[in-house]
Amino acid sequence: MLVRRILLMLSVAATTVLGVVFAQPANAEYVITSSFDKQVAKPGETATLTVTFKNPETVDVTFTFLTVNSSYDTMLGKAKYKMGECTGEITDCNHFTTPIPPGGTRTMTVPVAIEADSPCGAQVRVGFYFYSYRESTAGAFDGVVGGGPPVNVQC
């Protein structure tokens, strides 16, 4: 299982660099959505990231795992940021509280502080994509989901 996750993360990194988008199964909904509370932030400011998990199953989800990963644009623009403490319907930053009923949601928020010495300008952004894993009596499912619009770091 660990080898599978390592291979998945390596393939995600490679496809992100190459600009490849993963296709979702035909009957799958996006289980992870995200957004920031602002579109623009300056060095020294904080934007709040909200991440929501929605149970697409017809049974309770009994386990979740989530990683928050810097997008290619974030790495390319060399934005400097620090993620603060996660809050919300979570046990920690990687696990939403369970069980989650069919159609139910769980939400977490995390402040993202743009460091005072971060580069800024037209091509500097802070954005994320997510690896999501869930278990239920229907089985175990995982996938990579792109994040919502990034925060533009302006001078």
The arithmetic mean of pLDDT across residues 80-105, rounded, is: 95
Q: Domain limits of the chain?
A: 2-153
- Confidence at 30, pLDDT banded by 50, 70, 90: confident
Q: E strand or H helix at 69, and its extent? A: strand 61-70
Query: What is the DSSP pairing of strand 151-153 with strand 40-41?
Result: parallel
HSE-CB of 38 using CA atoms within 13 angstroms:
14
Q: Are 128 and 151 in contact (CB under 8 A)?
A: no
What is the mean pLDDT of the segment spanning 4-12? 48
CATH topology assigned to domain 2-153: Immunoglobulin-like (2.60.40)
Query: Picking from 39-48, 109-118, 137-146, which range would have the lowest pLDDT averaged per residue?
Result: 137-146
- Give the pairing type, strands 90-92 and 95-96: antiparallel
Average of pLDDT values for 70-74?
A: 93
